[in-house]
């Protein structure tokens, strides 16, 4: 049985040249692209690009709306917290005396 014989440098160059020529012949044998086909492909690509742009715009708008809603909820929560803090804050001495007098007057009115 004969042993393996490695190809020489000239053999490898010839094989590469023939492969290159074969690829060039295949490329030249390809029919030219029709202008109508190219125009149709361009229209399809433009429609795809417009749809993608609309989808991106909708996503950006949804994100902006979500941020606005979050800011509104935060403002509402802050207002509620301020109101609660105002209710729980100790009243001034005059307010406390007025509230005490009102309770006293109400109690006297109920006893009559």
| Helix (H/G/I), strand (E/B), else coil: 8 | coil
Cα–chain-centroid distance for residue 70? Answer: 16
* pTM: predicted TM-score of the whole model, two decimal places: 0.47
**For residue 1, what pLDDT is reported?**
61
Whether the CB-CB separation of 89 and 81 falls below 8 Å is answered with no
Whether the CB-CB separation of 15 and 7 falls below 8 Å is answered with yes
Average pLDDT, the chain: 91
User: Tens digit of pLDDT for each residue in 17-59?
Assistant: 999 999 999 999 988 889 999 999 999 999 999 999 999 999 9
């Amino acid at each position: 049985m004969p042993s393996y014989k490695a190809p020489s440098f000239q053999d490898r160059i010839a094989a590469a040249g023939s492969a290159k020529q074969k690829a060039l012949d295949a490329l030249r044998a390809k029919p030219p692209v029709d202008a109508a086909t190219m125009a149709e492909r361009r229209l399809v690509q433009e429609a795809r690009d417009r749809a993608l742009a609309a989808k991106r715009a909708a996503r950006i708008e949804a994100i902006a709306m979500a941020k606005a809603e979050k800011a509104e909820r935060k403002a509402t929560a802050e207002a509620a917290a301020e109101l609660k803090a105002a209710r729980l804050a100790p009243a001034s001495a005059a307010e406390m005396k007025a509230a005490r007098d009102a309770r006293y007057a109400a109690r006297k009115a109920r006893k009559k």
